[in-house]
Structures are given as structure tokens and as C-alpha cells.
Amino acid sequence: MVDVAATPFPFKLDPQHVALIVIDMQRDFIEPGGFGDALGNDVSRLQAIIPTVAALIDLARTHGWVIVHTRESHLPDLSDCPPAKRLRGDAPLRIGDAGPMGRLLVQGEPGNAIIEDCAPKPGEIVIDKPGKGMFYATNVDAQLRAHGITQLLFAGVTTEVCVQTSMREANDRGYECLLIEDATESYFAQFKSAALAMLTAQGAIVGWSTPLAKLQAAVA
């Protein structure tokens, strides 16, 4: 076990049973012309964490940790996208509509691809999830347990939506969770800070958080 300096207290990392979860580092959320941009968000906030996420992925590869990449995506016929999700809000483009990078949040479209700097390598797990949480309507839990995973490191976007939802789902399933603070981001600074506070409150009620530098120092 390796002690990682973290909030609210040190996280005891088990390098033999840990996996890195990289949530939704997709062009649709991070680049202009994607779904996030269509919602009126400043995508540059998310672009700023790309180097840190890439460095975290490199760290996981160096240590031979299991890596899981998720994409929020739907089938081309949108049969896995409830109307209540697709029709919510007043964005000019909705899930399934054609944008500059193809149909928004649809499997196989250019915008649904994970950005090049964080792209999966052969052998890494890629999960297409139709919901916010990575466990909903996927087989990721079975894959993690097949690898003997008991701990999860979290990164990706957005902190308060898909990252937080996935981390809460993981906590309910008995995984110990550590969120890498500078490898996650929100379109809204106050939402990120609030999510970090909620996840780590009351003695790590959902999990721990730490910056990448402290994780790197602990496993060096």
C-alpha cells in the first residue's frame, strides 16, 4: 500500500488493484462545434486540463494499471436516449442533430471520438455509456471485477455531472475512489469546487481527492 497525500486524509493506494477511469474526454465536450459548445459553454476551460489528463494516463501506463476510457454516446437510432434527455433545454442543436463534427453524442461520429492526446491504446477498456454514470447500462463493473480492481482513480469531464455521478455509483458498489483534482474540470468553476467539497466531505463520504503531483510523488 502507498500513502497518497489527499483530502480529507491520506488515501492508501493499492497499486496491484487500482484502475484509472478517464471520463468522457470527447471532442463533443471539449472542442468548438461539439455538444458542450452547442449548450453555450466555454470549452476552453475543459481544454486546459488536457495536458494533465494525458500525463495521468502516461503515469497509469508506466505502472501497468488498468485504464478505462468512457464516452457518453448513443446508438444512431437514439433508442437508448430517452426523449426527456434529448428534448431538455433550449439548445439550438440536440443529441442526434448534425453539427460540425457529425451527429452530436452519436456512436461512430467524429465528435464522439476521444481527443487525440488522451486516446486509448490497444488493450485499454473503452465504454460507451448512454447515461451520465459509467455503470448505467454498461458492463464496466464486470470488467473491473474480472481484473480484481478494488480502487478507482477518476479524471475527466465534467466534474459535477458525469465524473461525480460515476464516482458515486462506484462508491455504492464498494470501490475506493480518488479523484485527481487538476485532471477534471467543469464549464463552471463554482460547480467543480462544490463537487469536490461534496465528494470528500464527512470523512470521504464518496471518496478522496488530490492533485496529480501528489499522486506522482507517492508512486515515484
**Please, what is the Cα angle at 195 between 37 and 73, to 5 degrees?**
40
Candidates 28, 118, 129, 177; catalytic one: 129
Which residues, other chains included, contact 116 with Cβ-Cβ below 8 Å and sequence gap of 6+? none
Omega prior to 100 cis, within 30 of 0: no
Catalytic residue list contains 24: yes
Distance CA 131, CA 59 (A): 28
Return the sign of the alpha-carbon dihedral for residues 170, 140, 86, 160: positive
Candidates 24, 28, 37, 182; catalytic one: 24
Catalytic residue list contains 129: yes
Question: Which residue matches cell numbers 497518497?
Answer: 4
Q: Which amino acid type is present at position 141?
A: D
Closest CA to 21 of 149, 198, 160, 205: 149
First to last CA, the chain: 13
Beta bridge partners of 7: 209
Catalytic residue list contains 162: yes
Distance CA 141, CA 116 (A): 26
User: What number of H helices and E strands is found in the chain?
Assistant: 9, 10
Return the sign of the alpha-carbon dihedral for residues 117, 44, 152, 131: negative
Candidates 118, 162, 177, 192; catalytic one: 162
Q: Which sequence positions are flagged as catalytic?
A: 24, 129, 162
